Amino acid sequence: MDPINETHVSRPGLVVVDVAAADDDTALAFQQMLADRWATASAERTTHDVGQPGVRLRCYLDLRQPSAPDDAPLPVSAADPC
């Protein structure tokens, strides 16, 4: 995975989560559990590193913002992970 961009952790409450899992379904289900609780910029796909087991994904959380209902727009701080 690429190095973490300083902007993603520039303030308290901003979190970068790197996930390693056996398969896509497991990694994406874990990410969804995070998204159900906090505002998140979700990964749309996983990656696989050649020679490494399983899959990986990275998502960005804003613990200062609760997750928005499905039909509500995300707050600016959660919609822009940069």
Mean local confidence (pLDDT), 67-73: 56
What does the pLDDT look like over 15-60, one tens digit per residue?
Answer: 888 899 999 999 999 999 998 888 887 777 888 888 888 999 988 8
- State how far the Cα of 9 lies from the Cα of 17, in Å rounded to an integer: 11
pTM tops 0.75: no
Residue 73 pLDDT > 80, yes or no?
Answer: no
Which whole-number Å values give the CA distances from 22 to 50, 56, 65, 69, in the listed order? 14, 9, 30, 29
List, in order, residues 6 or more apart from 54 with CB less than 8 Å away.
Answer: 20, 21, 22, 23, 48
